[in-house]
Amino acid sequence: MHHPWDRVVIAVVVIVATALLAKLVDLRISRRELTPALETRYQVVRRTIAVAIVFIGVFSALFVIPQVRAVAGAILASSAVIGIVIGLAAQRTLSNFVAGLLIAFTQPVRLGDEIEIADAAGRVEEIGLTYTWLRTADDERIAIPNDKLASETIRNKTFKR
């Protein structure tokens, strides 16, 4: 018979190993000298891959614990309802995430570009999974939701193909 702490230790080891794997994959992908266009794509892809690895690892680690597995079976039985509720609750976040992927691959803006959107203007400093960060002339940082960036008109002062 297994002691309950054995399973917890296994779960912790799996989570730590997953975090290390995500970091190693991220480091492996990031070891390249890239053009700004490719750097923008790689940054978003790196983050997406790291999040996916950690999510799968944590989910796998939790299934080591029998009590969690039993609850997961009940949750899986009602997954359609849960999926609808989560989808409605996370609609804005999912919209920002999908827009972040679109921005990374269509590249209306790239890292280092000087842009204007709505009432914000600045240099693109970071394109994340849900927000894009601008650095203004006054050295302030502005976070713009990616769905706004994907749907609004952008004036890109430095964009060159």
Supply the pTM of this predicted model. Answer: 0.53
Strand partners, 131: 145
Q: Where do the domains of the chain lie? A: 4-77, 106-156
Domain 106-156: CATH architecture, name and number where available: Roll (2.30)
Model pLDDT for residues 54-97, shown as the tens digit of each residue = 777 777 777 777 776 666 666 656 666 777 777 777 788 888 88
- Phi, psi dihedrals of residue 122, rounded to the nearest 5°: 170, -175
Q: Return per-residue pLDDT of the chain as tens, 161 residues.
A: 456 677 778 778 888 888 888 888 777 776 667 676 667 777 777 778 888 887 777 777 777 777 766 666 666 566 667 777 777 777 888 888 888 888 878 888 888 899 999 888 999 998 888 889 999 999 999 999 988 888 888 888 886 65
User: Quick one: which of 49, 65, 53, 55 has its CA closest to 129?
Assistant: 49
Alpha helices, DSSP H only, in the chain?
Answer: 4-30, 36-62, 66-77, 79-89, 91-106, 146-151
Q: List C-alpha distances in Å: 61 to 14, 19, 75.
A: 6, 12, 17
Both tokens assigned to 56: 């799968």
